[in-house]
Structures are given as C-alpha cells and as structure tokens.
Chains A and B, each alone.
Chain A
Amino acid sequence: MTRTRLAAAAAVTVLLAAAPRAEAADQDFAQIERGRYIAVTADCVACHSAPGGKPYAGGSALQTPFGTLVAPNITPDRETGIGSWTEEDLRRTLQDGVGRGGKRLYPAMPYPAYTKMTDDDIHALWAYLQTLAPVRNQVDVNQLPFPFNVRLVMAGWNLLNFEPGRFKPDPQKSPEWNRGAYLVEALGHCGTCHTPKTMLGADDTGKALQGANLQAWYAPSITADSRKGIGGWTAEQLTAYLKTGANHQSLASGPMAEEIQNSSSRMTDADLSAIAAYLLDGKGSASGQGGGGPAPLAADDARMTAGSAIYTDSCMACHGGDGKGQTFLFPTLAGSGVVQADDPATLIRLVLDGSRAVATDTRPTGPAMPPLGWRLDDAQVAAVVTYIRNSWRNAAAPVGVDDVAKVRRTLAEAQ
C-alpha cells in the first residue's frame, strides 16, 4: 500500500515538473475557497465532467440543435487541459467568448451569461482551477457539422446576439436583490436552460426565464408569474427547493436534479435567499387570471372523461384524487407551473418515461415516477395529460396525440 502511494506521489511530481505553469496563480486559501464556491455556483462540473470520469476533466457529448459539442478538459494539464493558459485567457473566455489563441467559443459555453462576471470572481476561479490535479484526457470538443464547425462563424453570431459587459447593479434595489440578480444572470446562468432561444440559438431576451425546451425536457418558467411560473411559492419554499430538491409542491428531477445536486444544494443560505429575492420580485401577477389565459376544458369534454378514467387507474394512488400528491414524495399537480406550461413536453415525458427525484442530504428519499409509456398509447397519454392540465383549477391548452408522439420519438432517439 505504502509503496503504491509513493509511486503515485512520484508520478505526480514528474508530471508537475514537466508542466511548469505560465504564471503562479494566487495561492491564498481565501481566494482558492472563493474560487471553489464560484465553480460550484456556476456548476462548471456539470458540463466539464463525464459520468464516471474525473471532475473537470472533460464532459460527455452535449446535443445542440446545431450538432454535438463536448465540454473540454479544464484541469491544469498542459497538453489536454488548460495548463498552458494564463488568467487572461480564462478572463477572455468567460467575458468575451474567445479562448486561448483567439478561438471563438460556441454559446453552449454560457459566456453570454459569464460576460457579466466580475474580474475578482474570475481571479478567484482561476486560483481554484489551478489547484486541481492535472488530468490527462484529450477531448474532441468540436463535433459540429460544416459550416457550424468553423469557429469564425461565431464572430458573426456574436455580432448579432452577444452583448459583452459586466453586471450592473440596480441602485434602486437592495444589495440582496442585486446579489440574486448576479447569481441568476451571471454565475448561475439560469437562462441557459430557462430562457427560450431564438432561431439562431441565442437567448430570446424579451422572454427571459419564461421557460424553454432542451434535450426533451421543458425547463419551466421561473418568473414570478403565479400560474406558469413560481410566483405561487414563498421565498422559503423556493430556497427549500434549491437547497434540498423538494418543497411543499414539487420535487426536482431531470437536468434540474443535476443542478441541485452539484450546485444549488451547495450554495449558502444567503445566496439562495438572494436568488429568491430576485426571482420572486414582482410576485402576484398571474397570466390567465382575469383574462388572457385559457379557460379550463369542460369536464364533460371527451378527452377529459377519458383522461379522468386513466388518472384514476394509473395516477391517483400517488398524486391523489385532488391532485395534491404527498409532500416530499409525490408532486402536487394542482397549481403546478410544469403542469400548466405552454409546452407540455416535460409532463408528457414524465408520463412516458418516468423520472427519479433528486436525493439530497436533507431529502434523501429520491422517489420515482414509474414510466407508463409501455402501457399507455399516445392517445391515452394525451388524454390523461390534458385532464391533469385542466383539473383542480388548472387550465392549459389540451395536448394532442401528435405532441405525445413527438416526445416519444425524441425519447426513442435519445436512447
């Protein structure tokens, strides 16, 4: 045992000797610790690690509408990671979307959010990344088809879609609100998933955080809208969700489960409160109440009666006849933003394929929704989803058989 350990230590020494750094990073404990926290908050590990791989040593394939990208190795390995980079290289990557040697990044790396990061935070992040053990792992980052694989096209894209610039606090708002805004818009890059994209794949800034489709999940609205968003939640309920993965109404699964596991469950309570202060600002508005939104389908609509029967057979044991579910175990369907979202993809997907809620130290249960797609056909799924979207004071557009078929196809392709 001791001998193995010595051999490993020797190998590390040789590696480090062979890879002198271009410059000494800040070795101060406080800076490194701050940088670690920034890496957690920005959830770097989510994209830059592969399942079963070493953290930060490169990710697994990310499917974008334009093709496949893989997040690179960001450990300080000289050959395959960022061991030959300077702090300035990192700063330009994050703030300008231009990597070492002038390479233009694709916005799968959320530099349109990170451009708002402060120089101080980047300095700390740099200090932290330099403390990681270098991992030799060559990653083939750019697997896009022509012409997207030509990085220069991003120059044009940036011209149209990218607005560089640091975060500007709103002096009218509290320091907490501003901290929350910085976390949501810059470090946490919530809009990467929750903001709809334009044809060109850029954030549709007019619809910030109003919900978007990605990888066959619909990331719901996280605006203060009380029907489709999270405006019905209190600050405590929102921070409980971000910290533990579960609250009075909902349980996180899918990509949000990963986010909670890697990132928000590890944030400070003060930062989570700040996020809540920012996201829930302007609470009280509700799309569809007092006009503008859909009216619920009539209970005697054929889709509703069919859906009701299927719900009784397959859903009610857990989610209840009143759609209230069971706290921390089975999500509440009544009043849920995911349920009433304009895009029903997540709801359809959950019925077809099931999912497993995130398990955290506080809420370790990790209950599952079983897949029902093997025993419900598209018409049955459409009916039950339509019923759920229009019961217990929920109101949302009916779901068609084609909508279900489309999600089923997407899921089959992803397998």
Chain B
Amino acid sequence: MARKLPHKDVVVIGLGWTGAIIANELCDEGLDVVALERGPWRDTATDFNLGYAPDELRYNSRQELMLRPAQTAVTARNNADQTALPMRQYGSFHPGNGVGGAGVHWAGITWRFSPYDFRLRSHYTERYGAQAIPDDMTIQDWGLSYEEMEPYYDRFEYLAGVSGKAGNLNGQIQDGGNPFEGQRKREYPNPPMMQTFGPTLFAETAAKMGYKPFPIPSSLLSRTYTNPLGVTMGQCTFCGFCTNYGCANYSKASAQTTVLPVLMRKPNFELRTLCEVLKVNLDPSGKRATGVTYVDSSGDEFEQPADLVVLCAFMLDNVRLMLLSGVGTPYDVRTGKGTLGRNFCYQMANQVVGFFDPKRYNFNNFIGGGATGMAIDELNNDNFDHGPLGFLGGGSTRCAPIGAEPISKRPTPPGSPTWGSGWKRAMRDSYLSNLSVGCEASSYANRGNFLDLDPTYTDRLGRPLLRITFDFPDNDVRMSAYVTGKVAEIVRAMGAQQIVENPRTRPWSVVPYQSTHVVGGTAMGMDPSTSVVNPYLQSWDVPNLFTVGANVFPQNSGFNPTGTVGALAFRAADAIRTRYLKSPGPLVHA
C-alpha cells in the first residue's frame, strides 16, 4: 500500500535536460516542485573527476551512465507479424539513467530544425502535391510555426552556451553560417569551435564543389561562458571523450553544467533520486491527474499528490508511463485509430569512411569532440529538389571527429586481414589517416511503426515492458542511399584512396549502436485524432498532465533533436507560467 505524502504543486518525472528546465522555470513562478529521478545523483564535482572521466572501459564498454536492461528493458520487433523479444543489452540506442539523463552523455550537437519542419505535411503537399507523400507515410504538422519556436530556441542556446555561426540573422544570410537555417534574432552566444585538420579539409573540398560549409553548432564551448542563470562553463579542450561520457571540464552543456547549480539552491525545489514512478494517478473521471505513485530504492511505495504532473523522462519512458497510466487511446496498427504510441520514428544515421594515404595524411583523430567539426546542409530535409528523386527527406552532413577511443575505434580499410599481424599493420597504418563523414538524416513516420505495451515481458516491478515495432520505411532507405552517395563524392574528392559507404539499410537491428535519437509516440499537433498532446505539450485527455521530450515529435528531421527538445521545454514552461496557471484547463480547444 502506497504511503500518501504531503501535496506538492508540481511533480516532475525525470531530472534531465527537460525536467531541469521545467522545474527551474516553475520554481521561479513560486510553485512548490518535486522531481522524481529513477537514477542516482550526479554532478561534475563528484562524479566526473578528470582522473577517470575518460575511462572508455567504464563508460563506453560498460555504459555506466546509461540505463541497464535489469532496470527497464524494451522489447523489439520489425513488424506487427513478429513476436517481440526483450533487448538484453541496450545497443541501438542508449537511454540515460540518473540526474542529467541522456544529456550527460550526449555529443553536444545543437541544431534548430528547418523552418518548414514544423509544417512538414503542408510543406511537401504545397511543393510536390499530395500524391508525393506515400499513403503509409503518416508525417504531419506540429501545430506551431518556426517563428513561434524562435524565442525558445534562443533561450536554450543561451542557456547551453552554444558555440556557432549564424547563417540567417533577421533574414540576412551570413557568410560562414548555414544559409538554410531559419531566421534568428541574434548570433549564437559563443563563436564557433576551432577546427582540426579533418573538418578543415572537408570544408575546403565541399566549398570547391559548390557546397556552403559552416561550423557545427556545439554545446561544447569555444570559450569560458556564464549563462543567463549565472552558471559558468569552461572552454572545451578537445579531449575526445564526449559521447558516452560526462565532461570533467564543465565544457559540455548538460543539466549539471547549466541549470542544476541554480535549481538545487531553490528552497521550493526538492529532488528525490532512486525513485521510479510507477504510474500517473487519475481521478475517477480519468480527466485529471491527482499525482503519481512511485517506488524508492528500498521498494517502498509512495503516492505523491500534485496539481500538475510533467513527464520529463527519456522519451520511451514518457510514452510507456502514459500507456501504463491509461492516459489517451493506444494506437491500433490494424485500424490506424488511436494516437498513443503512433508515429514512432528514429534517425537514419548514414556514414562514409575514407581511408587516406598514411604517408600524406595525419588527421590526429585523438583531438576531437562530440560536436566539433564542419557541416553542410544542402543534402538535408527539403533543401534540395525531391521532385525527380522518388523519396522525401535528407540529412545534415558533417565531418565531426569525436575522438579516437583506444578500445572501440578499430578502423581498417576493406580487404585488410581480420586478425593477426596483418590486421595490426592495417590498424596502425589507418588509425590516424582515416576520416568519417556522417549524414544524420530524417526519419519519417510510417503507419506500421509504433510503440505499445508488450503482452508477455515485464520489468522487475511487474509492469509490462514497452514494445517497439519498427523498421526503416522504403522512403527513408532510398533517401539514405541517395545522400550517402552524395557524401561519398565529397570524401572521394578529399583524396581518400578507399571509401566505405554505410547507408542505413533494412532491417533495423537492435544490436549495433546507431543513434539515441528515438522520437515520437506522443505526437504533438492541433488535431486530437492524430496527436496526443497539443502544441504546448499538454495532454488532450488530461489537461494537468504535460510531457516534454522527443516523444512529442510527429517525425524526425535530419538534425540531432536536443536543440528542439530544449526549446520545446522552454515553450511548455512559458505556457504553464503565463497561461495555464491563470486558468488551469485545456490551453487549446480542439
């Protein structure tokens, strides 16, 4: 029997990027906020000692900062005719665990989506006609415009100290920036990162081919920076241990390095770690959340009553908690009816590896960072004419040397021996003379891809696991083949002797790591028959329940999602502060 605790104004589930932003904003509104975090406390001072922060065995091989299947697994299958099996090791993607969430071990690449992304179906219909969108492609509009998002992108970029170069300042295209980006009101808070040899060569080559290269917007900082909350971050040292690691130098933006020092000081904020929320409680009408039930690390159950419940966990957990709590109508793949779990999408992570003459090229890949590098945007989303191509979408192309981890980085050119002295020689020769160029591409919703509760497998607390039914749609596979070919042209022109093209192909496998950019499942939108939350991220069914995360994306753009997730968090917080609290109830009447 759950012990009932004293009432709070707000309960926030999960203290990562979005939970920290929401909690901080609502504390500023004077509300009494409690955050429940399933993992442990983590901060730079205590947990990311520079003596062991770059420990590859500990953090990459053994994934210490990430969710373990013993806590919560997911089951997976490629289509509804198969039986899903549990993931015994998180491979394809890496949900975070603990304070800071996946924002602790992210790479730091921080984009704004393309302006037309927010009205994607309308945009494609206008440009190519409705028939250009396949019947099974359930892409849709977000229910808001880029212009409405702009101030919140700005807030997130200034919070995180993003280092980059504007490409479009108030409608004026800027040399050296991304000419395809939406209008921004002001420059990035910090200048771009310095570039190493690899990205420099990529940018020079791409420019000669007519592309417009620009520095990747980076939440690893190019200089010391104090953000608007007064928290100071340090200059990135290019140590090369960002993705999968916590940052020891206060250089990578995360909840820890941008918000928590301020939030944790607030007397109206309370954090409870190692507390896993079991479900959101609803009143008998099912139209109002009364709080949440959670279990602590001793196995004791508590009921935390609250006026407002905000789901800020990893996106898979946000969807699962809504399914477990009976909020909304689960998607039915046979009829296409129901919205909860619908439009689950991923990211098409394509890559081209070039092997260069080791006598002439030393890229010194040890110097790196998750978000350092140069990019082009000509191959992204609808920045090129899809009319004759037979697919929609594209990806951001970038040369981003993230570092050369000594255990996992094993580059050998095709034809090399796979063991013994020949393999060692090939490894030694190519270690410093290979270079990757990636194309992180869009993933468009398909009616066969969705999330629901697994009928067979449960977690350690007896709750059904989340089931992923997903495969890469034809459209996305064709797109991947096309953009990867284009990227290969650039790598060849850079002077590579050998090229390996790795376009994403079917079937989706849970085993190799691809990207943690899983999105969708509680799509946002203006139409309750195709969305779970309105454009303020408020549940259509339970107006005092909000959810903030990539789970609200109706589909994925050819960009990393964190910038947009952060902007949506600020926008939801603003709507709660300025509108919802004045008149608690639905912010949009459908």
- Chain A residues close to B by CB (< 8 Å): 314, 317-318, 326-330, 356, 359, 361-368, 370-372, 374-375
Query: Known pairs A318-B50, A368-B46, A370-B51. 13 more at Cβ < 8 A?
Result: A318-B234, A326-B234, A326-B235, A327-B224, A329-B224, A330-B234, A356-B45, A361-B230, A365-B250, A365-B261, A367-B232, A367-B250, A370-B50
B239, CB-defined interface residue at 8 Å: yes
B45 touches A367 (CB 8 A): yes
Which chain B positions have C-beta within 8 A of A356?
45
A361 interface neighbour in B46, B233, B265, Cβ under 8 Å: B265
Which chain A positions have C-beta within 8 A of B224?
326-329
Smallest beta-carbon distance A363→chain B, Å = 7
A359 touches B265 (CB 8 A): yes
Smallest beta-carbon distance B256→chain A, Å = 10
Q: Please list the 6 inter-chain residue pairs (A to B) with the smallest Cβ-Cβ separation, ordered nearest first.
A: A368-B45, A370-B49, A328-B232, A326-B224, A364-B261, A317-B237
A367 touches B44 (CB 8 A): yes
Which chain B positions have C-beta within 8 A of A372?
51
Smallest beta-carbon distance A294→chain B, Å = 31
Which chain B positions have C-beta within 8 A of A317?
50, 237, 239, 248-249
B502, CB-defined interface residue at 8 Å: no
Nearest-CB residue, chain A, relative to B236: A317
State A326–B233 Cα separation when bound (angstroms). 9
B226, CB-defined interface residue at 8 Å: yes
Nearest-CB residue, chain B, relative to A375: B51
Smallest beta-carbon distance A241→chain B, Å = 15
Which chain A positions have C-beta within 8 A of B233?
329
Nearest-CB residue, chain A, relative to B238: A317
State A327–B233 Cα separation when bound (angstroms). 10
Q: B26-67 interface mask toward A, CB cutoff 8 Å, 1 = contact, 0 = none? A: 000000000000000000111001110000000000000000
Smallest beta-carbon distance A164→chain B, Å = 42
State A318–B51 Cα separation when bound (angstroms). 13
B231, CB-defined interface residue at 8 Å: yes
A364 touches B44 (CB 8 A): no
- Chain B residues close to A by CB (< 8 Å): 44-46, 49-51, 224, 226, 229-235, 237, 239, 248-250, 261-262, 265
A359 touches B250 (CB 8 A): no
Select the residue from A327, A365, A368, A370 with max chain B CB neighbours within 10 A.
A365
Smallest beta-carbon distance B497→chain A, Å = 35
Which chain A positions have C-beta within 8 A of B45?
356, 366-368, 370
Which chain A positions have C-beta within 8 A of B232?
326-329, 363, 365, 367
B248 touches A370 (CB 8 A): yes
What are 14 of the A-B contact pairs (CB < 8 Å)? A317-B50, A317-B239, A317-B248, A317-B249, A327-B232, A328-B232, A329-B234, A329-B250, A363-B230, A363-B232, A364-B262, A366-B45, A367-B250, A370-B248
State A314–B53 Cα separation when bound (angstroms). 13
State A352–B96 Cα separation when bound (angstroms). 32
Which chain A positions have C-beta within 8 A of B265?
359, 361, 364
State A359–B263 Cα separation when bound (angstroms). 12
A328 touches B250 (CB 8 A): no
Which chain A positions have C-beta within 8 A of B262?
364
State A375–B51 Cα separation when bound (angstroms). 8
Which chain A positions have C-beta within 8 A of B44?
367-368
Smallest beta-carbon distance A373→chain B, Å = 10
A364 touches B229 (CB 8 A): yes
Given that A327-B224, A364-B265, A367-B250 are known contacts, is A374 also in contact with B51, CB under 8 Å in the complex? yes
Which chain B positions have C-beta within 8 A of A374?
51
State A371–B249 Cα separation when bound (angstroms). 14
A364 interface neighbour in B49, B51, B230, Cβ under 8 Å: B230
Which chain A positions have C-beta within 8 A of B250?
329, 365, 367
B249 touches A328 (CB 8 A): no
Which chain B positions have C-beta within 8 A of A368?
44-46
Which chain A positions have C-beta within 8 A of B51?
314, 370, 372, 374-375
Which chain B positions have C-beta within 8 A of A328?
224, 226, 232
Nearest-CB residue, chain B, relative to A326: B224
Smallest beta-carbon distance B31→chain A, Å = 19
Smallest beta-carbon distance B95→chain A, Å = 27
A364 touches B50 (CB 8 A): no
Smallest beta-carbon distance A366→chain B, Å = 6
Nearest-CB residue, chain A, relative to B48: A370
Given that A326-B224, A356-B45, A359-B265 are known contacts, is A365 also in contact with B231, CB under 8 Å in the complex? yes
Nearest-CB residue, chain B, relative to A362: B230
State A356–B239 Cα separation when bound (angstroms). 23
Select the residue from B232, B239, B248 with max chain A CB neighbours within 10 A.
B232
Smallest beta-carbon distance B57→chain A, Å = 17
Nearest-CB residue, chain A, relative to B235: A326
Smallest beta-carbon distance A29→chain B, Å = 24
State A374–B49 Cα separation when bound (angstroms). 12
Which chain A positions have C-beta within 8 A of B237?
317
State A367–B233 Cα separation when bound (angstroms). 9
Smallest beta-carbon distance B319→chain A, Å = 34
Which chain B positions have C-beta within 8 A of A327?
224, 232
State A359–B262 Cα separation when bound (angstroms). 9
State A336–B249 Cα separation when bound (angstroms). 21
A364 touches B231 (CB 8 A): yes
Which chain A positions have C-beta within 8 A of B46?
368
State A364–B257 Cα separation when bound (angstroms). 11
Smallest beta-carbon distance A266→chain B, Å = 15
State A372–B51 Cα separation when bound (angstroms). 8
Nearest-CB residue, chain B, relative to A330: B234
Nearest-CB residue, chain A, relative to B262: A364
Nearest-CB residue, chain B, relative to A355: B45
Smallest beta-carbon distance A250→chain B, Å = 14
State A329–B49 Cα separation when bound (angstroms). 15
